[in-house]
Amino acid sequence: MTDQREALLVCNDLIFQSKIVGTARELGLAMRVVPTPRQAIATIGDQTCLAIVDLADHAATSPDILAQLRTTLPEDATLLAYGSHVDVDHLRAARAAGCDPVLPRSDFTARLVEILNGAVQSDDPANADSADS
């Protein structure tokens, strides 16, 4: 088994997925893409340091499954969720389920390099300025 840290991405938007994976690759972070949090749970390993969940699919990202994902991740891993800024209820539910940070998609996009760099360099991928989340 490799000692390389790994991130998981739960996202069905192929164009956005490509941007995230490409950025991770440029930064030297291995990124595994899965279509649902349930499949993410099945692929979590000891080197998983970050899980990123797109909240666009409400059925697949219920609070119960997000909470299960949080408890399955290594204790020091970050569970980040992002979604539409107008979907306030779903963003709040994700936070209540254990996602931290929870960001509007625009903020996630703006902070993508910072977040992924954090996964490569530290134990807390969202440590830089997470107070706004």
Of the candidates 33, 29, 31, 30, the one whose C-alpha atom is nearest the C-alpha of residue 10 is 33
What does the pLDDT read at residue 21? 97
Q: Is 27 part of any domain?
A: yes
Half-sphere exposure of 59 (CA within 13 A, CB side): 1
The model's pTM is 0.88
Mean of the per-residue pLDDT values for the chain? 89
Question: Does the pLDDT of residue 124 top 60, yes or no?
Answer: no
Q: Is 133 part of any domain?
A: no
CATH of the domain at 104: 3.40.50.2300
Domain that holds residue 10: 6-127
Q: Is 116 part of any domain?
A: yes
What does the pLDDT read at residue 3? 65
Q: Is 29 part of any domain?
A: yes
What's the pLDDT tens digit per position in 28-46?
Answer: 999 999 999 999 999 999 9
What's the pLDDT tens digit per position in 79-108?
Answer: 999 999 999 999 999 999 999 999 999 999
CB 23 within 8 A of CB 113: yes
Structural domain total, the chain = 1
